[in-house]
Structure 1
Amino acid sequence: MIKITNAVKQQADKIARYIMLAMNHECCKNFVGSTHTLEDFHNMMTRLVAREDSQYSYKNTLVALDEDSENVIGICVSYDGADLHRLRKAFIEEAIKEFGIDYSGIDDETEKGELYIDSLAVDERYRNMGIASALLKATCEKADSLKIPSAGLLVDCGNPKAELLYRKLGFKYLNDTAWGGHKMKHLQKTNH
C-alpha cells in the first residue's frame, strides 16, 4: 500500500535523487560541465529541494511513501507556470556559484495557466504498480485546488511508454518542443 502526501524538508536528499532520475543522468552531467560530478549536482539539487523559493522545493513536491516503512518511493514536482522565472532564480544562482555556468538563458518549459509537472519518478522496484498514475492524479487535483486551468508536462520523444501513461490519464498533445537538447512533446490536461 502506498500513501501520497506533501513532501517535508527532511526528504530533500531523496527527492533530489528522484529529480535526477527524472532528468536522466546524461542531462545532469551536461548541467555540471566537464569539471564536476553527478554527486556535485546531487548536492546542489538537495540544497534547492530544501529551499522554499526554488522550482524544485519540497513545497512543490508530492511524495509516494511505502506505508510500511515510510520510505519515499516516488515523487512528483510541480509548480505554477506563472512563477517559473521567480522560482528558477535559485537554480541559476546555485549553478553559477557551484559550476561557474550561467543558465539564465535557458528555454522556458511552461507558462501562466499551467501547473507544470517538472519531475516525476518512481523507484524501479515499485514500477508498474500504479504509483506514477497516483502521483499524476494527485497533481492534477492540486492544479484544480489552486484554480490553475491545466496541468502540463514535457515528455521526451524517445520515451513512448511515458507518453502512453500520460495519454491514458487524459493528457493531450499540445505542441513539439525541445529541452536540454532533446526533442520533446508538450502534453496538457485541462481541468473540468
Structure 2
Amino acid sequence: MDKIRIENAALHQASTIASLVMLAMNHDCCQYFAGPHHTLDDFHQMLIRLVKRRDSQYSYQNTLVALAGEDVIGCCVSYDGSRLRDLRRAFLEETRDSFGLDYSHMADETQAGELYIDTLAVSVGYRGQGIATSLLQATCEKAAALHLPVGLLVDKGNPKAERLYKSFGFRYVNDAVWGTHPMRHLQRCDDGLPVNYKDNHKNNLTNELG
C-alpha cells in the first residue's frame, strides 16, 4: 500500500472532498438539508461548489487531505471559529439558490477562540489504519501554529466517540446543537499529545475513526 501523506487540499480534489464531507454528515442529514424535492446528488453538486469557493466553511483552503498515492482517502476541514458567520454565508446562499430553503436560523456551532474541526472523515475502505489520527494530529499542529485550542462537536448519542476524543486530549466545554442534533462541545488546549497519552488510547482512536 502507498504511504499515506497528509497535505493541504487542492481545488481539483473538490468532488472527493465533498463526498467525504457527506460521509461525515451522514446521508440522512444531507437529505434533510437538500429538502424533499432534491436528491443526494443535488446536495453533492452544491457541496462541490462550496469546496471550490474560497469564502466557504467547506473550502479546499480550509482542508487537509490524506492521500494514498494521488487518491484522496480522508479529509479534515477546520477554520478559525471567529470566521464562522462569514464563512457560513456561502452555505446559506447555496442552499437558498439550489433548494429554495432558508437555514439562516441555525445556531452557531463554534465561536472565536478556537480552531474548529467542522469535518473529519476517512473512506470506509481505509479505516482502522490510523488515518483519522494523523489528520487530527496535523490539525492540532495547525492550531498550535495559530496559538488556538482545537474544538469540535460530538453527538450526545455517541458517548464512545466522545471517550475516544477525550483519550486524545479533548475535554468537555459545553452543550451545543448542530442542525437538529444535540451535541457536546470538546476542546483540546495543548500544543502536542497530552502527557498521559497511552498507546492503547491511540489504538482505540485508530480502530474507531480510522
TM-score band by shorter chain is: over 0.9
- SS at the partner of 1:184? strand
Distance 1:151 1:60 in 2: 14
Q: Is residue 142 from structure 1 mapped to residue 142 from structure 2 by the alignment? A: yes
Question: Which 5+ residue runs of structure 2 have no aligned equivalent?
Answer: 192-210
State the shift of 1:12 in Å.
0.2
State the shift of 1:167 in Å.
1.3
Counterpart amino acid of residue 142 in structure 1: K
Question: Which 5+ residue runs of structure 1 have no aligned equivalent?
Answer: none
Distance 1:128 1:71 in 2: 17
**Residue of structure 2 in register with 1:35 after alignment:** 37
Number of aligned residue pairs: 189
How many percent identity over aligned positions?
Answer: 60
**Residue of structure 2 in register with 1:159 after alignment:** 158
User: Which one has a bigger Cα radius of gyration?
Assistant: 2
Counterpart amino acid of residue 123 in structure 2: D
State the shift of 1:172 in Å.
0.6
1:30-53: CA deviation from partner (whole Å, max 9, x where unpaired): 101100011000000000001111
1:138-190: CA deviation from partner (whole Å, max 9, x where unpaired): 00110111222x11000112223432331121011112222121121111001
1:94-143: CA deviation from partner (whole Å, max 9, x where unpaired): 11100011111111000000100000000111111111111011001101
Once the two structures are overlaid, the 10-residue window that deviates more, 20-29 or 159-168, is: 159-168
Structure-1-length-normalised TM-score: 0.95
CA RMSD between the two structures: 1.0
Written as runs of structure 1 = structure 2, the 5 A alignment for 1:164-179 is 164-179=163-178
**Residue of structure 2 in register with 1:64 after alignment:** 66
- SS at the partner of 1:36? coil
**Residue of structure 1 in register with 2:18 after alignment:** 16
